Structure 1
Amino acid sequence: MRTIAPPFTVAAPTGARIRDRLRVDGTDEQVLTLVGQHLGRHQRADFAERLALGLVPVKGNRRAERKKKLTVVSSSRWAGAMTRASEDQYQLSLRCLYGERVALRRAMQAITRRLAVPCGQRRGRVRGYADQNERFQKQRRLQILQRRLAVVEQRLAEGCPAVVVGGRRLLHARHHLAEAGLSLAQWRERWEAARLFLTADGESGAPHGNYTICVDPADGSVTIVLPEPMRHLANAPRGRYRLGSVVAFSHLRQEWLDRVTANRAVRYDIVYDPARARWYLDASWATDTTVPPAPQEIRAAGARLLAVDLNADHLAACVLDPHGNPVGRPVTVPVDLAGPASMRDGHLRAAITALASLAEEHGCAGIVIENLGFTDARTTGRETMGRGQRGKRFRRTVAGIPTARFRERLRGIAYHRGLVVIVVDPAYTSRWGAAHWQQPLQQQNKQTTVTRHHAAAVAIGRRGLGHRIRRRPGVTANDQRIVTRRATGQTGPGPGLRGTTSPPRTTGTPHEGCRTRLNRDDQLVLFPVPKTVRGAPGARCLTPGPDCVARPTPVDHARNGTDESCASP
């Protein structure tokens, strides 16, 4: 069994981003298109110059010189945004190259281990390939991976990654327009929209947090600073252009107002969506960093947690108390991941919102999820995720689960709801949960169909609280009076101590506690009832005849309030 990593809390989002629609007219759209194309052309030239410099220290990237050259064709603040975007894109491309190198090495290592084992044999936990045909195909696959790794190593050594401004997928769609469902005019429109540059960095102390693209909080009007060669298009003082539409920012409006009224930095991006033929204005800013509580602190506070198991088409959730016991019924939240990307993202947001509402309804302090990256699994592919049609379906299912997007969306929504996100190691949660928790959950919830995913959610929550996943061996069943087995380590019946035996209690002796039984068989020690002589004073008649009046017992006295005697001739 592998070592299980300890749980940890996800850091709060370091920034916020909101969006509102710009309802522009024909003139505004023409001006925005001209400005975006002009700035985009110079930003791409600056990025090519940054790529030519290669992997150099920060002081050697010549940003000041490049910014001075861009200021002539735009403005000082536009030039600063373009050079910053070039540097960010370059660093992101390098991180992608490093990640690709790690993935290629993992895939090559998995194939090499299996190639070392003869066909149809097994050495330890490594299984060889089924036949020579599959082995030959894997040898060819290994050669392809080695060639790709050599290219990646060369690019890293030169410090020059391959980047397509606008997206490589959209670029490849140019040669497969029928498969993409696009015409040449539609593709050209999307290509030009993706290469526009209308981004202005915020500046603390500037009017409303940004001088280049300014949004007035009083009336929501938007003004932009035109580049130097396009100042003749200005319709406002100081070379500015005022758009005819206004924005309101309904989401997180109060936070945005707090920043712009205090003249704190806010970044704005103007984006055009050709599929909808709409213009949008995005506002983003950095938030104050807060340290979330550790899982041990949440457990010590005695708070509940909502455990969630992420699957391809639904979310299985279960509420757990501080002791790791399930509370209430398991919940299933469906997630429809079919359709375009925007629709899938909307369905995912709705599902996460339902989880947050469920956590607030049950008074949970946070949400527990698995640390699902699937990086290693997606890299190795068929080597570790099965073969044939069954393995192919499983790999498609794993590839279709939006793990990264789910984590980011959950972190943002939970932060605004005041919830904490705890991440645990996903090792053995499904297997141990189904083995130890599916049957008890089904016994507890007769009206709900409990699946192994609900049991996995319980295992995830217990691991987030710091408890063991497995239940204590020999746990007492539902009815202790009927079931004879008892929990290991619990108290059980045993012989009493000598010299401390209580005196025998007869049937007529009332119980000392609150529980009473008026039956004759309710006695602690099996002693016979002492016999008395018939007709003796104060004796109890054991064999009443037709001429004998029964005398009630002391319990009957208390019940009836009478004191009749037994009359005998």
Structure 2
Amino acid sequence: MTRTGVTFRPIRAPFVAADATGVAIRDRLKGLTGQDEKVLRSVGVHLGTLATRDLRTYTAPGFDRRDSDQWATRKRNLTAESSSRWAGAVTKATHDQYALARRGQLAHLQNLDAGIGMLRHRLSLPLGEKGTKRAPGGYRSRSEWFHKSRRLAVLQDRHAAVEADWQTGTVHVVRGGKRLANTRHHLDDAGLTTAEWRARWEAARWFLSADGESGKTFGNETIRVNPDGDVSLKLPAPLAHLANAPRGRYVLTARVRFQHRGEEWADRVTAGRAVAYEIHYDTGRDRWYLTASWKRPAGQAVPVDAAVAGGVAAADFNADHLAVYRLDAHGNPVGNPHRFFYDLSGGADHRDAQLRHALTQMIHWALARGLKSIAVEDLDFSDGKTREKHGRRRAFRQLVSGIPTGRLKARLVNMAAEHGLALVAVDPAYTSKWGAQHWQKPLTGSKRAMTRHDAASIAIGRRALGHPIRRRTAPPPHDQSDRAGHRTVQAGPGTPGREGNRPRVPGPRTRSVRAGRGENTVDQNAQHRSGRSAEHEFWQQDSLPLSF
């Protein structure tokens, strides 16, 4: 509870985000012959059919997913039509797809709960009642209240259906993607013909991925890539007649050359360590790609104090840019704010490229200044995107939804780890409000323009460093108390020399402070104040007498 009676929620302590352990690299399969493409298509279609059948079986209502005998039966049935390793890859992909669908189902259920709760709250309020900063008010008109009551009934029906699926373990999964399936009904808007859509749909439903195995030849027996870049794959039993190598294998004409992490990949395959591979066909570009992935052991987490010992680069995520400020170890802003812009319009590839470019610029900027850590907010906006909460504020909803928090964090974790930077996540509570209140105006000058986002980045950095965001109140006027008192921007309480004497100021200054009297201004015990050891007269209390 503060002096104004406002209750603030507890602030979570900052922590260092764990480094990403997954690695994925990709290269194009150049120079494939017509026979190579025919074999890849045949294998993809055949295994895709098996994967669809297995997913339908596993997600059927009433299926006992805890019974290991049923998993063994499914794998045995698939082995007869492919191979034991292909069957293992298909069943594992089915389990992963089901787990992902369950997580999405739970998130959808929580979103419906939040929307229903907000609608009930607003419908219970009188018409036209104003809201607060923490909760919206009532609806503006009787008509809006009526339409929202109907929407409440719709959400309740959806919630009941999803709740029933959740209790029975039923999920609704579309192999190839629900978005692409819906695009079939809007080909003109997507700029696709029926044949182009069909090609994308079929390619998305292929299955051409194999898990790695440690101790096996080049780390994978199903899709094998040797250190020279030769690619071969084990053909399923019905397609064994297409083999051009011993033991039912087919060797592609193309070779891969991994430019990124090529040496690390070569070390793994030479040592026979597990590497997973996936072959993907891009219908828009008419190109084939091979993706290699593996896991690295998790590194030892760096303590927060060690990560921010040399200062920190604090970043505030926004819908169109990153606002970054450098702070020293004492929490003081250094230099001017920096902004790294990105454009999130257009397709997914364009947005992803824009994010990577902005993050690369920020990381290089931090490295050039000798920083070892980047501070960010631990954001998710899970309950801030619903239209039930913000009502008519469509622009604000679009702004919040436009901030790619999940993609930014995932990208930043991976990229920061590659450059040896620690990522410190802080509680996002009140960073924008307190940053603008305490840091925007004092740092704004004729040569420095400060925005709320720049001030918020300072608040994020100070929280990561363990300093309070809010500064001390303004000092008293001149010629009162300490003659303007302490500086409002100063080092932390544990900094050595923080309360040291000020340097001597030669010459007369004002009538109240004579020449040579400014050096002890900070030392409270040297002040001529009541209750301090230094009084107006030079005296010292005598010791107690030995006898009375």
Shorter-normalised TM range = 0.7 to 0.9
**Residue 459 in 1 paired to residue 450 in 2?**
no
Whole-angstrom CA distance in 1 between matches of 2:140 and 2:514 = 73
Please name the residue that 1:500 is paired with: none
Match of 2:264, SS state, is helix
Please name the residue that 2:420 is paired with: 418
Please name the residue that 1:62 is paired with: 70
State the percentage of identical aligned residues. Answer: 46
Whole-angstrom CA distance in 2 between matches of 1:8 and 1:171 = 41
Please name the residue that 2:42 is paired with: 34
Give the deviation of 1:268 after TM superposition: 0.2
Report if the CA contact (8 A) 1:476-1:487 is conserved: no
Give the deviation of 1:457 after TM superposition: 0.5
**Residue 321 in 1 paired to residue 331 in 2?**
no
Report if the CA contact (8 A) 1:114-1:127 is conserved: yes
CA 1:206–1:62 in 2, change beyond 3 Å: closer, same or farther? same
Please name the residue that 1:87 is paired with: 95
**Residue 135 in 1 paired to residue 137 in 2?**
no
Q: What is the CA deviation profile of residues 57-95 of structure 1, one whole-angstrom value per residue up to 9, with x for unaligned ones?
A: 533471111111111111111011001111111111111
Report if the CA contact (8 A) 1:117-1:126 is conserved: no
Whole-angstrom CA distance in 2 between matches of 1:518 and 1:4 = 48
Report if the CA contact (8 A) 2:119-2:388 is conserved: no
CA 1:184–1:61 in 2, change beyond 3 Å: closer, same or farther? farther
Whole-angstrom CA distance in 2 between matches of 1:8 and 1:514 = 43
- Listed as ranges, the matches of 1:312-461 within 5 Å are 312-379=319-386, 381-383=387-389, 385=390, 387=392, 391-443=393-445, 446-461=446-461
- Listed as ranges, the matches of 1:227-266 within 5 Å are 227-266=236-275
Please name the residue that 1:506 is paired with: none
Structure 2 residue identity aligned to 1:472: R
Q: What is the CA deviation profile of residues 269-304 of structure 1, one whole-angstrom value per residue up to 9, with x for unaligned ones?
A: 0011111111111111111012322323434xx221
| Aligned residue among 207, 210, 225 for 1:200 | 210
Report if the CA contact (8 A) 1:53-1:61 is conserved: no
Give the deviation of 1:161 after TM superposition: 0.6
Structure 2 residue identity aligned to 1:452: R
CA 1:5–1:233 in 2, change beyond 3 Å: closer, same or farther? same
CA 1:489–1:417 in 2, change beyond 3 Å: closer, same or farther? closer
Match of 2:232, SS state, is strand
Whole-angstrom CA distance in 1 between matches of 2:407 and 2:47 = 31
Whole-angstrom CA distance in 1 between matches of 2:475 and 2:297 = 48
Q: What is the CA deviation profile of residues 222-253 of structure 1, one whole-angstrom value per residue up to 9, with x for unaligned ones?
A: 11111111111111121111111111111122
CA 1:197–1:117 in 2, change beyond 3 Å: closer, same or farther? same
Q: Gapped runs of 5+ residues in structure 2?
A: 1-7, 490-502, 517-548
- Listed as ranges, the matches of 1:506-545 within 5 Å are none
Structure 1 stretch 423-432 or stretch 159-168: which is displaced more? 423-432
Q: What is the CA deviation profile of residues 301-355 of structure 1, one whole-angstrom value per residue up to 9, with x for unaligned ones?
A: x221110011111111011111111112211111111221101101110111111
Please name the residue that 2:170 is paired with: 160
Structure 1 residue identity aligned to 2:45: Q
Please name the residue that 1:485 is paired with: 484
Give the deviation of 1:421 after TM superposition: 0.8
Report if the CA contact (8 A) 1:224-1:241 is conserved: yes
Give the deviation of 1:122 after TM superposition: 5.2
Structure 1 residue identity aligned to 2:82: S
CA 1:114–1:51 in 2, change beyond 3 Å: closer, same or farther? same
Whole-angstrom CA distance in 2 between matches of 1:395 and 1:102 = 18
Please name the residue that 2:528 is paired with: none
Please name the residue that 1:287 is paired with: 296
Whole-angstrom CA distance in 2 between matches of 1:118 and 1:515 = 66
Match of 2:384, SS state, is helix
Give the deviation of 1:11 after TM superposition: 1.1
Give the deviation of 1:5 after TM superposition: 2.1
Give the deviation of 1:254 after TM superposition: 2.2
Report if the CA contact (8 A) 2:118-2:388 is conserved: no
Please name the residue that 1:536 is paired with: none
CA 1:456–1:33 in 2, change beyond 3 Å: closer, same or farther? same
**Residue 220 in 1 paired to residue 219 in 2?**
no
CA 1:258–1:489 in 2, change beyond 3 Å: closer, same or farther? closer
Whole-angstrom CA distance in 2 between matches of 1:57 and 1:170 = 29
Match of 1:58, SS state, is coil
Report if the CA contact (8 A) 2:86-2:222 is conserved: yes
Q: What is the CA deviation profile of residues 514-561 of structure 1, one whole-angstrom value per residue up to 9, with x for unaligned ones?
A: 987699x99859xxxxxxxxxxxxxxxxxxxxxxxxxxxxxxxxxxxx
Give the deviation of 1:372 after TM superposition: 1.7
Match of 2:172, SS state, is coil
| Aligned residue among 254, 264, 274 for 2:283 | 274
CA 1:107–1:237 in 2, change beyond 3 Å: closer, same or farther? same
Structure 1 stretch 57-66 or stretch 89-98: which is displaced more? 57-66
Report if the CA contact (8 A) 1:473-1:487 is conserved: no
Whole-angstrom CA distance in 2 between matches of 1:454 and 1:3 = 24
Whole-angstrom CA distance in 1 between matches of 2:101 and 2:399 = 28
Whole-angstrom CA distance in 2 between matches of 1:272 and 1:489 = 60
Whole-angstrom CA distance in 1 between matches of 2:356 and 2:131 = 46
Report if the CA contact (8 A) 1:303-1:322 is conserved: yes
| Cα RMSD, aligned residues only | 2.6
Give the deviation of 1:450 after TM superposition: 2.0
Q: What is the CA deviation profile of residues 481-516 of structure 1, one whole-angstrom value per residue up to 9, with x for unaligned ones?
A: xx95222899xxxxxxxxxxxxxxxxxxxxxx9987
Whole-angstrom CA distance in 2 between matches of 1:248 and 1:475 = 65
Report if the CA contact (8 A) 2:473-2:488 is conserved: no
Please name the residue that 1:501 is paired with: none
> May I ask how many residue pairs the two structures share in their alignment?
490
Whole-angstrom CA distance in 2 between matches of 1:213 and 1:163 = 27
Report if the CA contact (8 A) 1:324-1:467 is conserved: yes
Give the deviation of 1:449 after TM superposition: 2.3
Q: What is the CA deviation profile of residues 406-431 of structure 1, one whole-angstrom value per residue up to 9, with x for unaligned ones?
A: 00000000011111111112121111
Whole-angstrom CA distance in 2 between matches of 1:524 and 1:309 = 47
Q: Gapped runs of 5+ residues in structure 1?
A: 491-512, 526-569
